Structure 1
């Protein structure tokens, strides 16, 4: 049964000059992986993700070499504060000025800042204060970039291809993570942190011509309502009100929040502690993460090829429950090969539930509100969930990994059970291809 609860915007967003280009009509039903417009977006997104991976590796290396471990940790955490505080505002900007414009400005700022830092490091050793300043700028830019990049897919592909676009985005993200670390390590080995920062800046710059070459699908324009639009704070309140009243998206935000709260801690802090207590070592962490990446990548490939999952709401809920059980099982697996197999199942199940969450957001949200809705989901994923890291570490120190992983499993499973208990979300469907 197809959900018909998609609401129209009270004040549809106007198409700005920066985002008003011709709408591709021919071949609208062409699979996303054969659409040159989507592939340009994918290339830009992958280049930006690669740049992120190389940048963070270079930042961590330079911070460790330039100060104590505590100082390095402080530098690495500086960006989290503005990212959490400004994320909702970033969604407002994406909806007011158009997501492409915000993404282009974000990547341009990152390219200039990182290339400038590389130039300084080639001739001097400025100290940790400059690294912290760059990290602070990155936190602000991330708060703008993440909601905007989430609001861009409906502008570049027809609605029936948005699930495939979500799959392609997952593949691009995985490629950035897998290739970024060795690329950054090679750059550091050849030319130190300066070379790695330079490579990251060039990758950010590479995304710009691809983004500028996109043909965007403009939103419905209503000049009368556009003149009556509230200010930025009013836009934010309007977006939150829209989200609260939406029968699918409102409950979906609760599901995303619970799944992130249960998932992020164990797979970041908990995994390192588990590998240490089991004697798997650093290479063991790498193998487990590789297993997770293989599973998540397979899920992204499945969505890219199929383009649609029947009964998406119910499948999302059940895979979240089963993925939660796999997270809990990871703490009780004594041998590394079995842990890798469990990690593959986590990647498959959690990857599918996460991708379906993203696809449901993309297809059920009025595009005029998509930046603000994406900012809310990103706020939980990247603003609130990382705050559980110290709590997870302290809890494992008190009670060991088993009870903590089990509690995380329960939180994730609660998200899936909640989704099953909301009829509109449980029955939510994705558009046919």
Structure 2
């Protein structure tokens, strides 16, 4: 039987009236502060790990240390979604940050007292990859448990702003820590940031799952949907594998979430290669240099930040499904155009458009997922979308690099944009997804009344 997370106390989500906007809800702000602190800790940690790996071995060895965390993250992501649903997202997030805090402070102490080999850094990277596989689905499953559905778009915008702020703070803080005391000091700073998130998470109030999503009732409904008439044969206790298959079956049969996952997979597959690998190669081919990469990335960050601010202020986007699909399609056109402009200022302007459109479509994808999904399945559904984004899509990096080397940036960027367009067009072609809406303030509120 699923372990239900204790509520504190069993009151409405966030214990706030339905009309209270997320940016004025103390419960949401505690969650946002914990998320920002944890994200800043991530930035400092990766900088410290990079520096320690480069100082302790060859460039190839350093690259291996930095890449090793992707393996457990990809392999365990779906299991992380099951765990988030079985034990509750709040409990999983708290445990994940606690483990990261202890591990990072431990490696900081080891580096301060001795000179451990690269195998220690590799082990830390493996642990972080495994913890990320638990942390990411749980973070995605938390917002519907702390706020009304009508506030989820605003929360996505606030989360985007918090992420941008954490990167702006975390990277310079990590660099300063390395300059002052080396990798040990930087790891220590990351550990303190993870520790700072814990009291905020511990005071977070979580709404109970609606009675209709009791595990036995959910399983019966799923069994009915696939034509199994023998409800009595369903065991009282379930296994993690059965939870996973039930979640995937639920996702496959959902009229909005199933198509939405296909849109996420296609848009990420076409988007991440050009922006993570192709951009550096494009800048080199155009003679823009490292400064050019920085300007283009700054333009992208500005656009993404503007999209987050728009959602934070408005809190509701009409025709969310259609807007999401159109922004993916138009953003893809901007990605393709990047490869055809020789002037850096024009490329920066296009990058602002890409950031704005991609930021808006990504936030709407997240808000629609959290709104449409039964909270009992949200961890598993989030793990699937995250697996596409952080597990499968990065596999395109070496292919993108090799393709640019063979054919140049223009055809590769165009092909990648075509994959994004395919996702947007598919989203527009599925009526249930195209007509999907985000709830307004006076709609169902999971216990808020």
TM bracket, shorter-chain basis: over 0.9
**Aligned to 1:86, which of 57, 63, 76?**
76
Alignment of 1:118 with 2:108, yes or no, is yes
**Residues in 1 aligned to 2:58 and 2:16: alpha-carbon distance in whole angstroms:** 58
Map 1:316-355 → 2, pairs under 5 A: 316-355=324-363
1:15 aligns with 2:1: no
Among 248, 252, 270, the residue aligned to 1:244 = 252
Distance 1:22 1:208 in 2: 22
Name 1:429's counterpart in structure 2. Answer: 437
Q: How many residues align?
A: 422
Structure 2 partner of 1:278: 286
Alignment of 1:290-329 (within 5 A): 290-329=298-337
The 8 Å contact of residues 83 and 143 in structure 1, kept in 2 or not, is answered as yes
| More moved, 19-28 vs 210-219 | 19-28
Of 26-35 and 102-111, the range deviating more from structure 2: 26-35
Supply the distance in 2 between the matched residues of 1:178 and 1:239 (Cα, whole angstroms): 37
* TM-score, scaled relative to structure 1: 0.95
* Structure 2 equivalent of residue 42 of structure 1: 32
Q: 1:26 to 1:41 in 2, by over 3 A?
A: closer
Gaps of 5+ in 2: 219-234, 442-449
SS of corresponding position for 2:417: helix
CA distance in 2, matches of 1:387, 1:19: 42
Comparing 270-279 with 375-384, which one deviates more in the overlay? 270-279
Once residues 228 and 360 of structure 1 are traced to their aligned partners in structure 2, the CA distance between those partners, rounded to angstroms, is: 32
CA distance in 1, matches of 2:252, 2:424: 19
Alpha-carbon distance in 1 for matches of 2:409, 2:140: 34
After the TM superposition, which of the residue ranges 269-278 and 362-371 deviates more from structure 2? 269-278
- Establish whether residue 66 from structure 1 lines up as the match of residue 74 from structure 2: no
Q: Give the TM-score normalised by structure 2.
A: 0.91
For 1:114-263, list aligned pairs within 5 A. Answer: 114-221=104-211, 222=214, 225=217, 228-263=236-271
**Could you tell me whether the CA contact under 8 Å between 2:7 and 2:206 is conserved in 1?**
no
Moved more, 38-47 or 14-23: 14-23
CA distance in 1, matches of 2:75, 2:62: 22
Counterpart-to-counterpart distance in 2, 1:405 and 1:424: 30
Give me the whole-angstrom Cα distance separating, in 2, the residues matched to 1:258 and 1:331: 20
Using the TM superposition, name which of 83-92 and 22-31 deviates more: 22-31
- Asked if the contact 2:31–2:200 (Cα under 8 Å) also holds between the matched residues in 1, the reply is yes
User: Are the aligned partners of 2:112 and 2:184 in contact in 1 as well (CA < 8 Å)?
Assistant: yes
Residue in structure 2 matching 1:385, options 390, 393, 404: 393
SS at match of 2:420: helix
8 Å Cα contact 2:15-2:205 kept in structure 1:
no
Conserved 8 A contact 2:320-2:437: yes
Q: Distance in 2 between matches of 1:28 and 1:350?
A: 29
The root-mean-square deviation of aligned C-alpha atoms, in Å, is 1.5
